A and B are shown apart, each in its own frame.
Chain A
Amino acid sequence: MEARSATPGLAPIDARANVATIRALVRRAANELLRVPGAAIPGVLAPTIFFLGLTAVFGNLALLPGFTTESYQSFVIPISLMQGAGFTGAATGVNLARDIEQGWFDRLLVSPAPRPVLLAGMVLSASARALVPATVVLVVGFAIGVHWPGVPGLLLALALAMGMGTLAALWGVTLALRYKTQSAAPLMQAGAFTAILMTTAYAPLDLMVGWLQEVARYNPVTQVVEAARQGFVEGGITWSDTWPGVLTLAGLIALMAFFALRQMAKTNE
């Protein structure tokens, strides 16, 4: 199997070289995590603080008639998992902007690696890194009484968090390639932040008020949140509650990958 060369006229690059490139980029991101652990702390702390804070502050919302669970922490934990993944993905965009500012990305672009391979390396690392805040949030959550979702429920929630990390990374990468500056960081973070919180983040759809209820109803990320939530609030997962979230996330990733690849193709044209 052969992949097309990034530059017409040059020899094609085989798939093994592409896999090696992706592995090297994932390894580089992992090294950042291992060698500069301080850099990962905000991405872990923020969703954990939000989880504990929202649970303490809004916990009594679960007393409202019509609330779908008595355990507000179980209701909120999927949001914190997605937030952690969102922050991790946005950080990928910020790191790319830093690499562009410092000229490192230019060196990657002149390498024979195809641009989709470079993109894959970046977003796969974000997908794996999303497990770090997710693990911390889950440990804290179970310690304060979050309902055990069962192994399938837990695996589904983690898989969806990884998918959200991928989506947020694609968004961050698109913006980094567009603006080429770390100053775009708030836009990268705000995108993930808004998409995740403008869902059924604080309360079930029927208990939301005003325009946000309509936004949440049509926000595709609501499907993802609800799919991740089912194990925590109902004690079991069903295919009918799972496939809309999985399909929506896959569609969003495909759409965002298209924009990221298009931006990649435009870079240094």
Chain B
Amino acid sequence: MSPLVANLRVIAALGARSVRQTFRRPQLVAPILIFPTLLLAIQTGGAGRAIDLPGFPEVDGFLDFMLAGSIIQSTLLAGNSGGIALAVDIEMGFTDRLLAAPISRFAIVLGRLAGTAALGALAAVWFIAIGMIFGATIHEGVLGAVWMVAFGALSAVAFGGIGAAVALRTGKASVVQGLFPLVFVILFLSSAFFPANLILEPAGSVAEYNPLSFIVEGIRDPVISTLSGETFWKAVGAIALVGGISIGLSALALRHRLRTGG
């Protein structure tokens, strides 16, 4: 077996383990699916009249606008949950056993991120289904839905890298869990829940340049209008930026762990 195939098998096995692990622990599933779904329902009903505000983009309903925000919230939390699970593996010695195995060390991290990507894709499918059931329309049709799922998976990897980096650097689940409130800070400072031009200052200006806003707009675009090249490339660029930094930090944290042993 070639080394590449062997590594891909390791990544697939660890990714599948990561997904199974998530669904066996209610503490990990709840933030990814249950809380964002509740928040979607509450915000759609509670702030639904926001579409009457001058300056709000043309949408069929507030649910159409909110779907992208819920997907990105879910992928951010999937990344955080993945980091917590990795830290638990480190605390329990499972990662040490993997490090001693004859496999690529980075495949261990990529395996975890593959699981996070699968959860991101699943979250996107979940919210698209909820949207369809409750009357949302995806203007770009099936292609748009596929697009949303792909962006969901890729952004989960990008954000999962941050959780993985913190887990590898600290080895403590409680520290990664401490990132949870930060997820909401980043979300509120983006256009995830509201158009950036209608967010109060100074948060509105931050939202305009927050990379997360570009990713959200990339996921939202196929729902509320037609795919535009500019929005697409901005989203791809933002995912590449966040992913590059986070995976780079994960590599550094892994190297530090191997050098110092903790």
Contact = CB atoms under 8 A, between A and B. Distances in A.
Interface string B46-69: 111110110000000010000000
A190 B45 contact: no
A187 interface: yes
Nearest to B180: A42
Contact of B27 (A58, A186, A193): A186
A46 B194 CA distance: 20
A201 B200 contact: no
Most B Cβ at <10 Å: residue of A42, A56, A216: A56
Interface residues of B, number: 38
B188 A49 contact: yes
Contact of B185 (A53, A208, A209): A53
A183 B184 CA distance: 23
Most B Cβ at <10 Å: residue of A41, A49, A193: A49
Given A60-B200, A186-B27, A197-B42, A210 B48 contact: yes
A216 B148 CA distance: 32
Q: Looking at chain B's contact residues, is the secondary structure mostly helix, strand, loop, or mixed?
A: helix
A45 B181 contact: yes
B54 to A, nearest CB: 8
Q: Looking at chain A's contact residues, is the secondary structure mostly helix, strand, loop, or mixed?
A: helix
A212 interface: yes
Interface in A49-71: 49-50, 52-61, 63-64
A79 B253 CA distance: 40
B38 interface: yes
A49 B198 CA distance: 19
B196 to A, nearest CB: 10
Interface string A167-196: 000000000000000111111011001100
Contact of A212 (B46, B189, B200): B46
Contacts of B30: 186, 189-190
A52 B35 CA distance: 19
B191 to A, nearest CB: 9
Interface string B14-29: 0000000000011101
Nearest to A58: B47
Given A56-B200, A186-B30, A208 B48 contact: yes
B41 interface: yes
A190 B38 contact: yes
Contacts of A184: 26
A239 interface: no
A42 B200 contact: no
B52 A57 contact: no
A106 B88 CA distance: 27
Contact of A203 (B31, B39, B46): B46
Contact of B35 (A54, A193, A215): A193
A61 B44 contact: no
A21 interface: no
B203 interface: yes
A200 B180 CA distance: 26
B213 to A, nearest CB: 12
A120 B61 CA distance: 47
A49 B184 contact: yes
A61 B181 contact: no
B227 interface: no
Nearest to B56: A60
A49 B27 contact: no
A187 B41 CA distance: 17
A159 interface: no
Contact of A183 (B27, B193, B200): B27
Contacts of B226: none
Contact of A186 (B34, B47, B48, B200): B34
B38 A193 contact: yes
B49 A64 contact: yes
A64 B52 contact: yes
Most B Cβ at <10 Å: residue of A57, A59, A193, A210: A57
Nearest 3 CB-CB pairings of A with B: A212-B45, A202-B46, A53-B188
Interface of B: 25-27, 29-31, 34-35, 38-39, 41-50, 52-53, 62, 178, 180-181, 184-185, 187-189, 193-194, 198-200, 203-204
Interface of A: 41-42, 45-46, 49-50, 52-61, 63-64, 182-187, 189-190, 193-194, 197-198, 200-203, 207-213, 215-216
6 contacts: A53-B188, A57-B199, A57-B200, A60-B50, A183-B25, A186-B30
